[in-house]
Amino acid sequence: MSALQPVRGTRDLLPEESRRHRHVEETARQVAELYGYEEVATPIFEFTEVFKRTLGDTSDIVTKEMYTFEDRGGEQLTLRPEATAGIMRALISGGLAQHLPLKFFCAGPMFRYERPQKGRYRQFHQIDIELLGVPEPLGDVEVIAVGAHILEALGVLGKTTLELNTLGDAESRAAYRAALVAYLGQRLDELSADSRARLERNPLRVLDSKDEADKRIVAEAPVYFDYLNESSRAFFEKVKSALETLGIAFRLNPRIVRGLDYYCHTVFEFTTNELGAQGAVLAGGRYDGLAETMGGPATASVGWAGGIERLAMLAGESVSPARPIAVVPIGPQAESAALALARDLRRRGMAVELAFHGNLSRRLKRANKVKARIAVLLGDNELGRKVAGLRDLDTGAQSEVALDVLVDRLAAER
């Protein structure tokens, strides 16, 4: 393959697609601010151990999908496959635990070596919400509410379904794990090689298997809810009741799990059937044990991540950019006046397209191409009379305006 082609699984975000991505990101940022979430940004790469601790040595991300490399100093580094690990590392290394509770929003590129498919790339982009230091069920409800609000603001909430499950506390998880191991142990010979390996180290990961034979076995596995203790059931009832109070519809899905031991209580996914087989567009859950796993203090935590590419596809057309004003100098003597006018208009917050070259016809064609709403015509004749020609590019109507009131006139018509 030519070196002048994008690397497989990556792509250029040209203006139209960049606008769609920006629309998703800015909408999410604005909604998150309404709930008190502050924006943070962590490095695009971290020490590899950060992700091995958080994602687990047996996860597909660690074993098959991470972009890991050795730098010139001999350090093992990894391009971030997700945002939560870096935020939790920042919590610990930055001594932020003394300031809990904390609400964080972030957005940016992530990297996973996986098979490219519709809406999924090796360099992809996510929005991310993390609520740290809130152990109560209403913390779970708030992060779900933020996600639902963002989807609603994007106009796609009606295209998604919130699927909800609970993993309970550590005691409930241990009871379910024992039941699952006993069940899968009876069908060991039917499991794929990957699932047999996971059964020893992380049996809940078998529930995530993509192998068709594994899926048939998992369909008959014990259901998590049957192994919840009373406190875990009460926690989940509070989550469901609060979601109902907010009018956030959900569907229980007992097969939504997280394989790592630090996950507990609520797990959820907003899914859609409009983007092919990969239906989740926003997913998350509670992970109270993660900070301790990384060597930090016990920190109640809940959050989610949403794929910008998939949300942009679901949202469809982006908001069109502001229609500019075209400033068209006619002749070299008008160029200085055009430059000054363009500067003054931009300082007043108006988008301006300055026609650089060509005759009047070509410059007006350029103005139409960029969807300008008004063309300001500046020629020697107009400047001599201290006026500018204004042409409405939608109707073709033309008038003259005195230069000393031109900026105010255009600002009033904005």
- We report the CATH number of the domain holding residue 397 as 3.40.50.800
Answer yes or no: is 6 within a domain: no
**At which of 271, 291, 315 does a domain end?**
315
Buried/exposed code over 325-354 (b: 16+ C-beta within 10 A; e: otherwise): bbbbbbeeebeebbeebbeebeeeebebbb
pLDDT tier at 56, thresholds 50, 70, 90:
low
Together in a domain, 58 and 92:
yes
pLDDT of 62 above 70: no
pLDDT tier at 330, thresholds 50, 70, 90:
confident
pLDDT tier at 59, thresholds 50, 70, 90:
low
Looking at per-residue pLDDT, the higher value among 279 and 285 belongs to: 285
pLDDT of 139 above 80: yes
pLDDT of 235 above 90: yes
Six token digits for residue 91: 């919590």
Together in a domain, 277 and 352:
no
Together in a domain, 346 and 396:
yes
Cα(first)–Cα(last) distance of the chain, in Å? Answer: 49
Distance of CA 103 to the CA centre of its chain: 16
Together in a domain, 256 and 364:
no
Together in a domain, 260 and 156:
yes
Answer yes or no: is 366 within a domain: yes
Percent of the chain's residues with pLDDT above 90: 61
Answer yes or no: is 363 within a domain: yes
pLDDT of 363 above 90: no
User: 180-189, 202-211, 241-250, 260-269: lowest mean pLDDT where?
Assistant: 202-211
pLDDT tier at 58, thresholds 50, 70, 90:
low
**Mean per-residue pLDDT, 108-124:** 85
Looking at per-residue pLDDT, the higher value among 317 and 65 belongs to: 65
pLDDT of 209 above 90: no
Give me the pLDDT at residue 57, please. 59
**At which of 289, 315, 341 does a domain end?**
315
* CATH number of the domain bearing residue 148: 3.30.930.10
Give me the pLDDT at residue 241, please. 98
Give me the pLDDT at residue 277, please. 67
Specify the number of domains making up the chain: 2
Give me the pLDDT at residue 15, please. 87
pLDDT of 338 above 70: yes
Answer yes or no: is 210 within a domain: no
Together in a domain, 139 and 279:
yes
**Mean per-residue pLDDT, 277-288:** 89
Closest residue by Cα to residue 31 from 148, 132, 167, 121: 148
Give me the pLDDT at residue 118, please. 67
Average pLDDT score over the chain: 90
pLDDT of 1 above 60: no
Contact 218, 255 (CB under 8 A): yes
Answer yes or no: is 107 within a domain: yes
Q: What is the side-by-side strand order in the sheet with 325-330? A: 352-354, 325-330, 374-379, 387-392, 398-402
Give me the pLDDT at residue 109, please. 97
Give me the pLDDT at residue 384, please. 87
**At which of 285, 315, 345 does a domain end?**
315
pLDDT of 29 above 70: yes
Q: What are the tens digits of pLDDT across the range 142-178?
A: 999 999 999 999 999 999 999 999 999 999 999 999 9
Answer yes or no: is 131 within a domain: yes
Together in a domain, 290 and 339:
no
Buried/exposed code over 229-266 (b: 16+ C-beta within 10 A; e: otherwise): eeebeebbeebbebbeeeebebeebbebbbbbbbbbbb
Together in a domain, 359 and 311:
no
Together in a domain, 408 and 261:
no
Closest residue by Cα to residue 388 from 379, 396, 413: 379
What is d(CA 50, CA 47) in angstroms, rounded to the nearest whole number? 6
Give me the pLDDT at residue 119, please. 64
Give me the pLDDT at residue 257, please. 83
Together in a domain, 310 and 396:
no
Domain containing 124 equals 15-169+229-315
Contact residues for 26 (Cβ-Cβ < 8 A; gap 6+)? none
Together in a domain, 157 and 264:
yes
Together in a domain, 298 and 394:
no
Answer yes or no: is 195 within a domain: no
Answer yes or no: is 47 within a domain: yes
